[in-house]
């Protein structure tokens, strides 16, 4: 069968996999190929056990794989045979050298640019899809302009999807943003990408802008979202010192339609691969341009997030008579948020590390993230008495305390009377997500410590 367009996605991770799958799903007349430097990852995409968990993803893959969606480890052939290339490689925080711990590590991205340059035999549209710090498209253009016979147009097309709702976000996005260059071929490239999205996204939601605005908007969107969480979390600390209740405060604030009610849930802190990385990248760029006050302002968002996690641990310690040495603590949830197995930058990693430093014993429970949790502890060199038990009833048995770290729905509906019966007394529960019925838990016998509201204790 001859396809109307041949599209390649480089990078088969949390963004690349689902977003390429949706293009294939929505555009049956296009052929979509996804390649990755990691052959095991490709093998997993070709198996029944997909490497990424997202509600609805299985069905989309089942409908497209082998028809117009293909996963392959052959990057060279992929680049040669496709003229539209989405670059979905990961851009983690740089951990060494200049900008260590802040700047974005562009090594995978640059390797990809060089591969595109090396293997291309015809003109291509190259689309940067991940979050890249401002002006990387320019660097991409410069690398690619080293081939004088083949022409490349570079577009920026930041992905705004949020994990756990990736499929919904991709099928029905608030906006699709395309940054392009005002040249004849740049405009043509832009129109090609608009045409792809117009297969399922209403035209008025497809926004085009200059390439730098497009790159920067992605960082700024994430910085604003994270800033809201840090703002409400900062106020939660204040509420705990006074008689105010953060849920009430957030509800009242959120009813101002200018602000809206989203992203106002106080929590143990935000996690995920994007917020911290993007804000740090913004801070780094501000410092580069000598905007130190602006950099400090945004860095404050990250500092409050660290403070909130540390505060959570100190509250636990304080509540449990200033010693948790030898006590058994059960973590309900390890993923950075519900409906994903992703644990990148999850507050749970910090909590686990700190509890083990205090020589507590921890039991980690999570419906989807146990494999990642195990890897994280190993990679971060976090050692101590740790067990991994998926079933929450079994996990809590014999523990002194439960700490809720992820807002999984299953934790809302547990039989806490039964759980209480199997735990060591006095029994503590720290609700780092404010998802439980605190009054009810208190009546059962738990000492209850929510975020940003008075603790309910029996002593
Ligand atoms: C985010 C952005 O939302 C998305 O647009 C961008 O493309 C990628 O980064 P994601 O990291 O998947 O998406 O998760 P998100 O739902 O934004 O949550 C981030 C973190 O904030 C999670 O740890 C979540 O639990 C926490 N959070 C969120 C809160 O603590 N309180 C809230 O009110 C909302």
pLDDT averaged over every residue in the chain: 95
The residue among 412, 368, 375, 337 whose CA lies nearest residue 166 is 337
- Known catalytic residue: 274? yes
Active-site residue identified among 27, 274, 286, 330: 274
What residue's CA is closest to ligand 1, atom 20?
A: 270
Stretches in the chain below the pLDDT threshold 50: none
pTM greater than the 0.95 cutoff: no
pLDDT digits (tens, 9 = 90+) for 51-65: 998 999 999 999 999
pLDDT of 315: 97
**Are the beta carbons of 297 and 225 closer than 8 angstroms?**
no
Please, what are the domains in the chain?
5-201 (3.40.50.720), 214-459 (3.40.50.720)
The residue among 33, 100, 37, 43 whose CA lies nearest residue 70 is 33
pLDDT of 90: 82
pLDDT of 93: 82
Which residue ranges have their beta carbon within 6 Å of ligand 1? 159-163, 222, 225, 229, 263-265, 267, 270-272, 274-275, 336-337
d(CA 204, CA 188): 19
Ligand 1 pocket mutation, candidates 19, 279, 337, criterion most atoms within 8 A of CB: 337
First CA to last CA distance, the chain: 74
The 3-class SS string of 399-446 reads CCEEEECCCCHHHHCCCHHHHHHHCCCCCEEEECCCCCCHHHHHHHCC
Q: Report the residue count for the chain.
A: 459
DSSP letter at 424? P
pLDDT digits (tens, 9 = 90+) for 400-422: 999 999 999 999 999 999 999 99
Q: How many CB atoms lie within 10 A of CB 242?
A: 8
What residue's CA is closest to ligand 1, atom 31?
A: 265
**Are the beta carbons of 225 and 298 closer than 8 angstroms?**
no
């Amino acid at each position: 069968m001859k396809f109307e367009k041949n599209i390649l996605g480089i990078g088969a991770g949390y963004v690349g996999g689902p977003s390429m799958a949706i293009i294939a799903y929505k555009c049956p007349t296009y052929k979509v190929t996804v390649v990755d430097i990691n052959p095991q990852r490709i093998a997993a995409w070709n198996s029944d056990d997909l490497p990424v968990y997202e509600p609805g993803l299985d069905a989309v893959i089942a409908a497209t794989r082998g028809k117009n969606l293909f996963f392959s480890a052959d990057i060279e052939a992929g680049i040669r045979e496709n003229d539209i290339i989405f670059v979905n490689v990961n851009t983690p925080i740089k951990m060494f050298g200049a900008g260590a711990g802040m700047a974005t590590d562009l090594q995978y991205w640059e390797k990809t640019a060089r591969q595109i340059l090396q293997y291309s035999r015809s003109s291509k549209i190259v689309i940067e899809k991940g979050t890249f710090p401002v002006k990387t498209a320019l660097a991409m253009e410069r690398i690619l302009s080293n081939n004088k016979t083949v022409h490349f147009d570079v577009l920026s097309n930041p992905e705004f999807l949020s994990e756990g709702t990736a499929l919904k976000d991709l099928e029905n996005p608030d906006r699709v943003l395309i940054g392009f260059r005002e040249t004849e071929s740049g405009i043509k490239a832009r129109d090609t990408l608009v045409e792809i999205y117009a297969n399922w996204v209403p035209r008025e939601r497809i926004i085009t802008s200059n390439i730098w605005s497009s790159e920067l908007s992605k960082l700024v969107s994430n910085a604003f979202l994270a800033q809201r969480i840090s703002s409400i979390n900062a106020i939660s600390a204040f509420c705990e010192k006074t008689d105010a209740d953060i849920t009430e405060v957030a509800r009242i604030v959120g009813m101002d339609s200018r602000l809206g009610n989203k992203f106002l849930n106080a929590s143990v802190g935000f996690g995920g691969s994007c917020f911290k990385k993007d804000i740090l990248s913004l801070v780094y760029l501000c410092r580069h341009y000598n905007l130190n006050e602006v950099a400090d302002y945004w860095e404050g968002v990250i500092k409050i997030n660290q403070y909130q996690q540390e505060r959570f641990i100190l509250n636990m310690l304080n509540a449990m008579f200033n010693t948790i040495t030898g006590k058994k603590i059960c973590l309900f949830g390890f993923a950075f948020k519900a409906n994903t197995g992703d644990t990148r930058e999850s507050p749970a990693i910090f909590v686990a590390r700190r509890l083990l430093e205090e020589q507590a014993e921890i039991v980690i429970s999570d419906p989807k993230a146990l494999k990642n949790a195990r890897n994280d502890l190993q990679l971060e060199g976090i050692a101590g008495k740790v067990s991994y038990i998926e079933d929450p009833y079994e996990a809590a048995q014999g523990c002194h305390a439960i700490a809720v770290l992820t807002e999984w729905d299953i934790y809302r509906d547990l039989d806490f009377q039964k759980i209480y019966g199997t735990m060591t007394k006095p029994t503590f529960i720290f609700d780092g997500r404010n998802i439980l019925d605190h009054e009810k838990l208190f009546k059962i016998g738990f000492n209850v410590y929510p975020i940003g509201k008075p603790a309910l204790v029996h002593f």
